[in-house]
């Protein structure tokens, strides 16, 4: 067991390194080209910056001022933080209710959430746009509730599986000590749910931050988020697109979500396994 790695192990390692390179190469190209002059990006996208093509932070300064990127960054941050908080808290409480109040109605509610996971967004996007406009939810605060609706399926599914694995005796002991239902949830259940809750937060944050279609349909181009702002920056006249500034915008857009993922990555595998297996 302590000898040399087997051939299968070495082949698996090589395959994983190859897959990692395949996924990281596009990101590396974007970062590399963000430091090159836009005149050289299209002609030599795979060439490293040299003394003639390197422009330092000029592309980043251009990217921050083009297409309202700074304002779009603020909107995306508000929508992502608000949506993730609402999804985590609301879906956690819903999952707790479904797992504890066992009845035919809670079972029906649970399967409705599960069913919503398999409905393609394209199937409901036109009716959704009409309903959202009719309810006045086509605003920055309103789109947070729209994301709650679309993100609740997977979140409730994962959290319900984990709640079912929490011993009921813990909550009964807290109730006997004088905790009301809200105190029992936030003081007893929520701390135990932390691994799965962080996983749900990471998955939804990556989705909301990178989503293009829903903000475009609901908010339009007057209240651009980062993906919409980047798309607009790409729609210049033929040959007029500033690819240097565009690459810089892409780099700035992926930094926050990568940092958030790195902070919570230790919970993601643990939370996915616990939410899928327990109960």
Contacts of residue 136, defined as CB under 8 A and 6 or more positions apart, other chains included, come to 142
In three-state secondary structure terms, 51 is coil
Residue 1 has pLDDT above 60, yes or no: no
Q: Confirm whether 28 is domain-assigned.
A: no
Q: Give the integer Cα–Cα distance in Å for 239 and 26.
A: 22
What would the pLDDT profile of 240-271 be if each residue is shown by its tens digit?
677 888 888 888 888 888 888 887 777 666 65
Sign of CA dihedral 195, 201, 207, 210: negative
- Half-sphere exposure for 73 (CA within 13 Å, toward CB): 17
Q: Confirm whether 132 is domain-assigned.
A: yes
Residue 142 buriedness (CB in 10 A; 0-12 / 13-18 / 19+):
middle
Q: Confirm whether 16 is domain-assigned.
A: no
Mean pLDDT, all residues of the chain: 84
Q: Confirm whether 196 is domain-assigned.
A: yes
pLDDT band at 238 (very low <50, low <70, confident <90, very high): low
Domain that holds residue 81: 68-232+246-277
pTM comes to 0.84
Could you give the number of structural domains in the chain?
A: 1
Q: Confirm whether 128 is domain-assigned.
A: yes
Do residues 150 and 192 touch, judged by C-beta distance below 8 A? no
Beta bridge partners of 54: 36
Q: Confirm whether 116 is domain-assigned.
A: yes
What would the pLDDT profile of 196-235 be if each residue is shown by its tens digit?
888 899 889 999 999 999 999 998 888 889 998 888 877 6
Q: What percent of the chain has pLDDT over 90?
A: 23
DSSP secondary structure, 215-239, as one string: HHHHHTTTT--HHHHHHHHT-PSTT
Q: What is the CATH number of the domain that holds 104?
A: 1.10.3720.10
Q: Confirm whether 25 is domain-assigned.
A: no
Rg of the chain, C-alpha, whole Å: 23
Q: Confirm whether 223 is domain-assigned.
A: yes
What would the pLDDT profile of 88-115 be if each residue is shown by its tens digit?
999 999 999 999 888 889 999 999 998 8
Assigned token pair, 53: 């093509």
């Amino acid at each position: 067991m302590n000898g040399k790695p087997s051939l299968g192990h070495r082949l698996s390692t090589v395959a994983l390194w190859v897959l990692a390179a395949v996924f990281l190469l596009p990101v590396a190209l974007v970062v590399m080209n963000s430091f090159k002059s836009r005149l050289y990006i299209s002609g030599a996208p795979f060439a490293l910056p040299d003394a003639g093509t390197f422009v330092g932070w000029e592309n980043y300064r251009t990217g921050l001022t083009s297409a309202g990127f700074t304002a779009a960054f603020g909107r995306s941050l508000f929508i992502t933080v608000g949506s993730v908080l609402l999804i985590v808290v609301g879906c956690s409480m819903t999952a707790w209710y479904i797992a504890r109040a066992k009845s035919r109605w809670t079972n029906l509610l649970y399967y409705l959430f599960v069913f919503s996971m398999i409905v393609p967004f394209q199937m409901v996007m036109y009716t959704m746009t009409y309903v959202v406009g009719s309810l006045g939810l086509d605003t920055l605060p309103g789109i947070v509730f729209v994301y709650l609706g679309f993100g609740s399926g997977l979140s409730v599914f994962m959290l319900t599986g984990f709640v079912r694995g929490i011993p009921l005796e813990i909550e009964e002991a807290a109730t006997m000590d004088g905790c009301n239902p809200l105190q029992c949830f936030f003081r007893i259940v929520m701390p135990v749910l932390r691994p799965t809750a962080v996983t749900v937060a990471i998955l939804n944050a990556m989705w909301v931050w990178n989503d293009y279609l829903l903000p475009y349909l609901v908010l339009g181009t007057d209240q651009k988020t980062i993906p919409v702002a980047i798309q607009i920056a790409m729609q210049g006249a033929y040959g007029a697109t500033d690819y240097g500034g565009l690459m810089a915008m892409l780099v700035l857009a992926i930094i926050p979500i990568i940092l958030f993922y790195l902070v919570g990555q230790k919970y993601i595998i643990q939370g996915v396994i616990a939410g899928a297996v327990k109960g």
